[in-house]
Each structure stands twice: as C-alpha cells, then as structure tokens.
C-alpha cells in the first residue's frame, strides 16, 4: 500500500511553478537546485507526501516503494527565488536500508518522516537523524516530519516529543497530513527558506 510517486514535473498549486530551464539546470543566487532525500519507516507516508506536493493528489491504493523513486518540483518564493527540489523518495522497508547512503550522500536536505500514530516509526526517525548526523553532508538541512496528523484520535506520539527532539537536534519540525494536504506545501516552503544561498546543485544520479 502507498502512494506511487514515479511522476514527471507537475505544478500542483498556484505557488508552484514549472521546471527551471532558463539557466540549464545550474544553481545560481536566484534559481536553486536542491537534492532532497526522504527517509523513514515503511508506511509512514513518504511517497504520499511527495505525491501530494508534486501533483496535489492522495492515492491510498498505490504501492510500496521499491528501492527509491525520483521526482522534481519547483517552487517560487516571495523574493522571486525559485527552488527546484530533486526529490529521492527512499523505500522504508528494512531490506532496502543498506541503499539509503546512495540517496542521502550529497543531499542538501533530508526530510525524516514518522507517523504520529506509531512510536516505532518515531524511534526509526531518530535512528535516521543519527545516521545523517554521522554520515550526511556537514551543512545538511534536516527536517523532522510527523505525518498522518489527520489521525489525531489515534495519536501515540505527542506533538511536544517531536518539537523537543527536533529542537535538540537543530532540525526544522512540522506535522503534516498527505491525506488532507495540511502543511505539505508549508513543509517545502520552510525548507526552501532555510537553504544556504546558493544551494549546492546536484544531478539526477543518486
Ligand atoms: N490517514 C492518513 N494516511 C496516510 C497519510 N499519508 C499516507 N497515508 C497512508 O499510509 C500508507 C503508506 O503510505 P506510503 O506513502 O506508501 O508510505 P511510505 O513511507 O512511502 O512507505 P514505503 O514505500 O514502504 O517506504 C498508505 O496506505 C497511505 O494511504 C496521511 O497523511 N494520513
């Protein structure tokens, strides 16, 4: 189960713009290209977050991620900077864990996702934070995301736990719902605001 995310560039809201082709894909002060990796336990909603961000859709019936999938999406900030996110959505199943370094190596941003109804997934998120702190780029932007915020009646991870853990580790924190779209665009906009200027450009290779 899950959200299939092997999709082309698409705009999904008025604030999102098409692929940035004016400068041939390189980063400059106004047009940033950013490699972003999503990590987290299987089933927390990584693919659904990406699908919601890129296409504005939620598909509860599509499949588990195998290996990883790649998508990109460009957003425009208020200061007219554009940020093209090159997104690697990794597979959360344990059997793919050894592949993760291929995807987070050289990433300017890591989005570490857990499910607010699953303490196990919160523990797994903490594992990924430590892994990124040890092996990620030294200036990587780390975001901690508590997804499935729409399932508040089943919540098992208090919002305060997410806030405190993120604060201690110098991370940006947000709760989202890929199902309702709550805070999905905000997640990427807040990441964009925290990027060093210009961000390191990347290629479509992991
Ligand atoms: N209620 C609710 N369900 C969600 C949300 N996001 C994802 N889901 C459901 O959670 C399940 C897993 O979502 P995926 O996006 O495939 O999870 P994943 O983290 O990509 O999983 P892997 O591909 O195994 O790593 C699916 O059944 C989704 O419909 C959400 O915000 N709210």
Q: Could you tell me the two tokens for 46?
A: 């990584």
User: Is residue 54 included in any domain, yes or no?
Assistant: yes
Domain span at residue 182 reads: 29-192
pLDDT reported for residue 187: 98
User: Is residue 127 included in any domain, yes or no?
Assistant: yes
Distance separating alpha carbons of residues 58 and 48, to the nearest angstrom: 6
177 HSE (CA, 13 A, CB side): 11
For ligand 1, is residue 46 a contact (CB within 6 Å)? Answer: yes
User: Is residue 124 included in any domain, yes or no?
Assistant: yes
For ligand 1, is residue 151 a contact (CB within 6 Å)? Answer: yes
- Cα 169 to middle of ligand 1, angstroms: 25
pLDDT reported for residue 67: 87
**Considering only CA atoms, which of 101, 100, 52, 42 is closest in space to residue 73?**
52
Q: What is the pTM of this model?
A: 0.88
- Cα 40 to middle of ligand 1, angstroms: 11
Running along the chain, 206 residues long, what does each successive block of 10 average in pLDDT? 50 35 54 96 96 94 85 92 96 93 95 98 98 95 98 98 98 98 97 78 53
For ligand 1, is residue 3 a contact (CB within 6 Å)? Answer: yes
- Cα 42 to middle of ligand 1, angstroms: 8
Measured between alpha carbons, how far apart are the two ends of the chain, in Å? Answer: 24
- Cα 45 to middle of ligand 1, angstroms: 3
User: Is residue 17 included in any domain, yes or no?
Assistant: no
Number of domains in the chain: 1
For ligand 1, is residue 178 a contact (CB within 6 Å)? Answer: yes
pLDDT reported for residue 169: 97
User: Is residue 112 included in any domain, yes or no?
Assistant: yes
User: Is residue 89 included in any domain, yes or no?
Assistant: yes
User: Is residue 203 included in any domain, yes or no?
Assistant: no
Place of tokens 């309702």: 180
User: Is residue 19 included in any domain, yes or no?
Assistant: no
Per the DSSP assignment, residues forming a β-bridge with 112 are 39, 144
- Cα 46 to middle of ligand 1, angstroms: 6
For ligand 1, is residue 45 a contact (CB within 6 Å)? Answer: yes
DSSP string, 92-161: -SGGGGGGHHHHHTT-SEEEEEEETT-HHHHHHHHHHHHHHHHHS-TT-EEEEEEE-TT-GGG--S-HHH
Q: Report in angstroms the alpha-carbon separations of 83 from 131, 134, 158.
A: 26, 27, 32
pLDDT reported for residue 26: 57
Q: Which residue's alpha carbon is nearest to atom 23 within ligand 1?
A: 65
On whether the CB atoms of residues 94 and 124 are closer than 8 A, the answer is no
- Burial class of residue 29 (count of CB atoms within 10 Å of its CB; 0-12, 13-18, 19+): exposed
Distance separating alpha carbons of residues 128 and 134, to the nearest angstrom: 10
The CATH number given to whatever domain includes residue 85 is 3.40.50.300
Q: Give the number of the atom of ligand 1 that is nearest the alpha carbon of residue 50.
A: 15
């Amino acid at each position: 189960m899950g959200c299939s995310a092997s999709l082309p560039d698409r705009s999904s809201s008025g604030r999102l713009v098409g692929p940035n082709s004016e400068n041939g894909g390189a980063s400059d002060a106004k047009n940033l290209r950013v490699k972003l990796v999503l990590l987290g336990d299987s089933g927390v909603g990584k693919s659904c977050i990406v699908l919601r961000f890129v296409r504005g859709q939620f598909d509860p019936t599509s499949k588990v991620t195998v290996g990883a999938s790649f998508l990109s999406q460009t957003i425009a900030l208020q200061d007219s900077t554009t940020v093209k996110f090159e997104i690697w959505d990794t597979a959360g199943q344990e059997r793919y864990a050894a592949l993760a370094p291929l995807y987070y190596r050289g990433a300017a941003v890591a989005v570490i996702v857990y499910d607010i109804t699953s303490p196990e997934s919160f523990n797994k998120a903490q594992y990924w934070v430590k892994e990124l702190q040890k092996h990620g780029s030294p200036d990587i932007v780390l975001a901690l995301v508590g997804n499935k915020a729409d399932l508040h009646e089943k919540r098992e991870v208090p919002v305060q736990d997410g806030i405190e853990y993120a604060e201690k580790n110098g991370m940006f924190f947000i709760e989202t719902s890929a199902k309702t779209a709550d805070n999905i665009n905000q997640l990427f906009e807040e990441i964009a605001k925290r990027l060093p200027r210009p961000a390191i450009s990347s290629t479509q290779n992991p």
